[in-house]
Amino acid sequence: MSLSAPQPVMLRLGTRQSPLAMAQALEARTRLCAAHGWADEAVELVPVLASGDKVQDRPLAEIGGKALWTKELDQWLIEGRIDAAVHSMKDVETLRPADFAIAAVLPRADRRDVLVGASSIVAIPHGARVGTSAPRRAAQLLSLRPDCSIVGLRGNVATRLLKLERGEADVTFLAAAGLERLGESGVGTPLESDQWLPAAAQGAIGIECLAGNARALELLAEINDPASMAEVRADRALLAGLGGSCHSPVAVHSLCADGRIAMKAALFSSDGAEQVTGEAGFVCGDDATPHSLSRDLLARATPAIARHFRAPS
C-alpha cells in the first residue's frame, strides 16, 4: 500500500493572529482550495502579530491608525515571506501604496453592528456607559442617546465581552460578521441599516498581494465576489473623497444589486450633536459619484463635522 505524496504549498496566506483574523484566513483557504481543487495543505496560513494587537489599552487613532493592522503583513509581502495577506477590509487604510493590489473580496457577510447589553438603542438605560473606541459608533450613539457616556473599550470579541461582564461598560457594539465567523451569532441585537449605518466595508474580507505578482492575482481572482468587491470599492471611494482618518465619524452603507449600487452615508460631529447625510445611486465601478457625494457632504457639513475630514486638494 503506497501513500500519496502531500500536495506542495501553492499559496502562502498571511494573517493576523487574533481568533477572528484566523477564522477569516481559514475561510479564504477553504474557498481557494475549493476553487482550484487543492487539498487544505496547499494553502499555508502564516500568522503575524500585528502592532494593533499589541496595544489594547488605547484607541486605535491614538497609536497610529489603521496602518497598525497592515504594516507587518505589508512588509512580509515585500520580503516575499507570504504571497497574499487576508484583511478585514474595514480595517485597511483607504490610501494604499501602489505596490499592493486588492486581488479579491470574498462574499460579504452581515454588515450590521450588534448591540450587546440592551435589546435596542431606545432600551439602553438612561445615562448608561457605552463601551467603544470607534468614533463612528460613539458619535452615532450620542446622536440618538445624548444622555449616555462613552468609555473606551478595545480588544478582540472575547476580550470586549469579558470587559462588559466585568462592568467596565453597560453596553457595547460588535460587528455581526465577526460574531458569525466565530460561531457566536446569537450574541446581542443586530441594528438595522435604516436606523444605524455600518462602517465602510464592514463584513468584507479582502485579500491583498503585490500588484506585480501575476500568479497570485490570477489564483485569487477565482474567489473574488464581484458584488462585494464593487461595494467595498464604492465605500473606499467615498472615504478617499472625504479625506477621513481613524478620528473621522463616518458611516456608509452600499448595496449592490443588478449592477448598480445604492449608497447612504452620514458624517457626524464627535459628540453626535450634528450630522449630515446623503444618498446616491450609480453603476458599479463608478468612483466619480461617491467622490461627488463626498464633496456634497463636506459642502453641507458644519465646522464641528468638517474638522474631522480633509478633502483631497
Q: Known catalytic residues?
A: 91
Joined together, the cell numbers standing for residue 223 give 474567489
Interval 222-251: pLDDT, tens: 999 999 999 999 999 999 999 987 789 999
- Please report where in the chains the cell 478582540 appears, as a residue: 156
Domains of the chain, CATH where assigned: 1-106+204-224 (3.40.190.10), 113-190 (3.40.190.10), 226-313 (3.30.160.40)
Taking the CB of residue 62, how many other CB atoms lie within 10 A of it? 12
Size (the chain), residues? 313
> DSSP letters of 139-197?
HHHHHH-TTSEEE---S-HHHHHHHHHTTS-SEEEEEHHHHHHTT-TTSSEEPPTTTS-
Q: What is the mean pLDDT of the chain?
A: 92
**What share of the chain in percent tops pLDDT 90?**
83
- Asked if residues 133 and 124 have their Cβ atoms less than 8 Å apart, the reply is no
Q: What pLDDT, in 10s, does the model give residues 135-156?
A: 999 999 999 999 999 999 988 8
Distance CA 286, CA 288 (A): 6
User: Strand, coil or helix: what is 24?
Assistant: helix
Sign of CA dihedral 246, 198, 250, 170: negative
pLDDT along the chain (313 residues), means of 10: 71 95 97 97 90 51 56 93 96 92 98 97 98 96 98 90 95 96 92 94 98 98 98 97 90 97 98 98 98 98 95 64
pTM: 0.91
Burial class, 194, CB count within 10 angstroms (exposed 0-12 / middle 13-18 / buried 19+): exposed
Query: Backbone phi, then psi, for 166, in 5-degree steps?
Result: -80, -5
